[in-house]
Amino acid sequence: MADTAHAQVDEHHYTATGIDHRKLAIWTFIASECMFFASLIGTYLVYKGRDVSGPRPHTEWLLNGRMQEQILEIPLVTFGTSLLLFSSFFVVLALSGAQRGNRKALIGWLCATIFCGIFFVGMQVFEFTHFYHRGMGYTTNLFASTFYTLTGFHGTHVTLGLIWLTTVLVVALRGKLPPEKSLNLEIAALYWHFVDVVWIVIFPVVYLIR
């Protein structure tokens, strides 16, 4: 019996591939999420230019010869994009700190990550409010609905990522994130990077390509 019990120590960590269950799971989840965003992006692209009335995303000449001003604000979103890129950079530094047992680096970079994430969400809230005041409600036209749905779902994912990272930060602040548990941050970081790469796709597809 003692022999069996002894074998358990190994079994608890045993995986046939050597990859931790949670890491494999978060990657699988990310794969599944790819199809979720692919469906939203596909919908956006199929409906692009199909609306029956304005406002339009990009400046265009109407048939009556008048120019319709675009509603998208590229400088604002470029700023938001940079924030997300920064946060991805910061979170790898935080993870690297966690793996080396450098508590200062871990907490500092993690705070910076969360800070950037909050500002990104703030940017999006500002953007949406701004559009609303310019007369683009959720149901105004097909562009409005597809745009708000796609970027709104992305924003929701950012928010969930922020809740997750903040939870990890609280755990780290309590000193419960030693190097051997750095996987807890690694999987949150993977999700965070995924949210970032989705934005890397959305940014040109929605904002830059007319």
Site for other proteins in 137-166 (CB under 8 A): 138-139, 141-142, 145-146, 149
CA distance 36 to 59: 29
CA distance 37 to 122: 22
CA distance 166 to 177: 13
Per-position DSSP letters for 49-104, written without gaps between them: T--SS---SS-EE-TTSPEEPP---HHHHHHHHHHHHHHHHHHHHHHHHHHHT-HH
Question: Is the CB of residue 113 less than 8 Å from the CB of residue 91?
Answer: yes
Q: Which stretch binds other proteins (CB under 8 A): 47-55, 110-118, 119-127, 128-136?
A: 47-55
Q: In this complex, which beta carbon is closest to other proteins, that of residue 127 or of residue 149?
A: 149
Q: Which stretch binds other proteins (CB under 8 A): 42-50, 60-68, 110-118, 123-131?
A: 42-50
Q: In this complex, which beta carbon is closest to other proteins, that of residue 7 or of residue 125?
A: 7
Question: Is the CB of residue 157 less than 8 Å from the CB of residue 165?
Answer: no
Q: Compute the least distance from the CB of residue 172 to other proteins, in Å.
A: 14
Per-residue contact track with other proteins, 66 to 85, x per CB under 8 A? --------x---x--xx--x
Q: Compute the least distance from the CB of residue 132 to other proteins, in Å.
A: 14
CA distance 60 to 142: 17
How many CB atoms are located within 10 Å of the residue 117 CB? 26
Q: Which stretch binds other proteins (CB under 8 A): 34-42, 61-69, 113-121, 123-131?
A: 34-42
User: Binding to other proteins (CB under 8 A): which residues in 3-22?
Assistant: 4-5, 7-8, 10-21
Q: Does 93 bind other proteins (CB under 8 A)?
A: yes
Q: Compute the least distance from the CB of residue 180 to other proteins, in Å.
A: 11
